[in-house]
Amino acid sequence: MMRVDLDKNHSWKCCFRTLYACGGAMMVFVYDGVVQGQTGVLFPQLQEKDSAIHLTPDEETWIGLESVGLVYLVELSVKEYRSLLLGATAAIYTVGILISNVVGGYLPWHLASGIFSLTAFGFGVVHFFAPESPAWLYKSGRRDSAVLSLQALGRSPASVRAELELLELSARTVSENVSVRVLLEPTVWKPLVIVSLLLVFQAFTGGYQINSYSEDIVQRLGTEYDPLHVSNIMSVATAVTNCTLGVYCISYMRRRPATITLSILVTLASLGAGIYELLLRGAPGPFDWLPIALLAANLSLGSVVTNISWILSGEVFPLRVRGSTTGAIFFVGWGSQSLAIKLYYASLAALRVSGLCFAYAAGSLCTVLLAVFALPETHNKTLYEVEQSFKRRESKDAETPVQDESNL
């Protein structure tokens, strides 16, 4: 049994340096949001007759290094404020969507794209001066460099020793080579299956589709509201939700109850929108704002659940395979997202708006069931503690480090 004493009281210097180092990785999510949101305002411009570029409906569905930013952020931060940084990252993602809708909605698409590219380059220059991930350096056999990186992040000598011991425990067994034997370990296959299913379910809860085709959906609802204005309002609602409720849920709530509660609300919102559309068939009425409000609730609340899903992909895997498995998770997640977006028109033709809303409700219900029975808890735990939660009881007893009671 190994004793690992974690320094719980980190200095302001440590907090500031870690925040600066994570800043560049967090900006990745701004532009992830920009790319996600820009499609909603980009497509109407490209569909105009005088557009310099014309897209087919198939090409519209094919409009990435996000996993690197997430892993880097998770490996640099300590457990006491890892959730807070991840919560801020989730909020920043929706701010990126809002920026893209506002800038891309009122400026020509090529000018908006140029602005986004220049600012992204600027943040890349800033991040150039951030330290390398200590976990990656240690796994690569560069222990001295890992120590220097931890010191550059403002860690105290006691924290440096404790984090090195945890890195040794996590990296001692196997290399990054992903073989069948490694994949069959419970610390690898269990989180791989759970998070993959979670991202697949989330891809079909409606958030990606509503975000990518917001103006088209508003037009199909048969309301008299301006689609661009409604799209911007949805983006504002999503950003506000993630900057308030989202940050709170990710920073202070446990992952499982947050996912269950929000997914139930998304299920009810999708059901309500489907029932309304089924009864009125898109005809304008005194409550034609209701389906818009319900779909906005789906988008806003569902985006928080989706952010939790992506965050889990950086928290649940052992150090020795974290890069490979997180990359695999992002492949599954983005593949599911691309498929869901690509099937939008075909699903709409087969199910109509009401059936599509019921399908989104079914996807959210699957998320609820998965969270109830299988979702791991990572909030306020070290990455090593998360890894141990997937091990069998006997191996846990043999390897789990003993911590001071003050840190439990």
Ramachandran angles phi, psi of 62, nearest 5°? -115, 15
Using the Cα atoms of residue 251, residue 256, residue 259 and residue 265 in order, give the sign of their dihedral.
negative
Sequence-distant (≥ 6) Cβ neighbours of residue 311 within 8 angstroms: 70, 86, 89, 90, 250
pLDDT of residue 172: 60
How far is the C-alpha of 113 from the C-alpha of 47, rounded, in Å? 17
pLDDT of residue 64: 44
pLDDT of residue 66: 54
Sequence-distant (≥ 6) Cβ neighbours of residue 161 within 8 angstroms: none
Task: Convert the chain into a string of H (helix), E (strand) and C (coil).
Answer: CCECCCCCCCCHHHHHHHHHHHHHHHHHHHHHHHHHHHHHHHHHHHCCCCCCCCCCHHHHCCCCCHHHHHHHHHHHCCHHHHHHHHHHHHHHHHHHHHHHHHHHHHCCHHHHHHHHHHHHHHHHHHHCCCCCCHHHHHHCCCHHHHHHHHHHCCCCHHHHHHHHHHHHHHHCCCCCCCCHHHHCCHHHHHHHHHHHHHHHHHHCCCHHHHHHCHHHHHHHCCCCCCHHHHHHHHHHHHHHHHHHHHHHHHHHCCHHHHHHHHHHHHHHHHHHHHHHHHHHCCCCCCCCHHHHHHHHHHHHHHHHHHHHHHHHHHHCCCHHHHHHHHHHHHHHHHHHHHHHHHCHHHHHHHHHHHHHHHHHHHHHHHHHHHHHHCCCCCCCCCHHHHHHCCCCHHHHHHHCCECCHHHC
Residue 99 tokens read as 């920026």
Q: Could you tell me the residue ranges of all domains in the chain?
A: 12-130+173-407
pLDDT of residue 152: 84
Contact 58, 232 (CB under 8 A): no
pLDDT of residue 295: 93
Ramachandran angles phi, psi of 281, nearest 5°? 55, 35
- Residue 374 CB-density burial (10 A; 0-12 exposed, 13-18 middle, 19+ buried): middle
pLDDT of residue 174: 44
pLDDT of residue 131: 84
Q: At what angle do helices 79-106 and 227-241 cross, to 10 degrees?
A: 170
Average confidence (pLDDT) per 10 residues, the chain, 408 residues? 51 72 67 60 68 62 54 74 71 74 74 79 79 83 86 83 81 56 84 95 92 84 82 86 88 92 97 89 71 93 90 83 80 86 90 93 97 91 84 54 40
pLDDT of residue 60: 56
Instruction: Specify the pTM.
Output: 0.67
Residue 66 tokens read as 């996000």
The half-sphere exposure of 32 on its side-chain side, counting CA atoms within 13 A, is: 24
pLDDT of residue 7: 53
Instruction: Please name the CATH architecture into which domain 12-130+173-407 falls.
Output: Up-down Bundle (1.20)
